[in-house]
Amino acid sequence: MSTKKHRNMSEKSLAILEGISEKKLTVGNLLWAIREGEELSLAAFSKKLGISRQYLCDLEHGRRMVSVKMAAEFARKLERSPIQFVRLTLQEEVGRSGLDFEVQVKAA
DSSP string, 54-65: HHHHHHHTTS--
pLDDT of residue 23: 63
What is the residue extent of each domain of the chain? 3-96
Please write the tens of the pLDDT for every residue from 86-96: 999 999 999 99
pTM value is: 0.79
3-96 belongs to CATH 1.10.10.10: no
Cβ-contact 71, 82 below 8 angstroms: yes
Banded model confidence at residue 18, pLDDT cuts 50, 70, 90: low
The pairs formed by 80-85 with CB atoms below 8 angstroms and a separation of 24 or more are 80/34, 83/107, 84/30, 85/27, 85/30
Please write the tens of the pLDDT for every residue from 24-44: 789 999 999 999 999 999 999
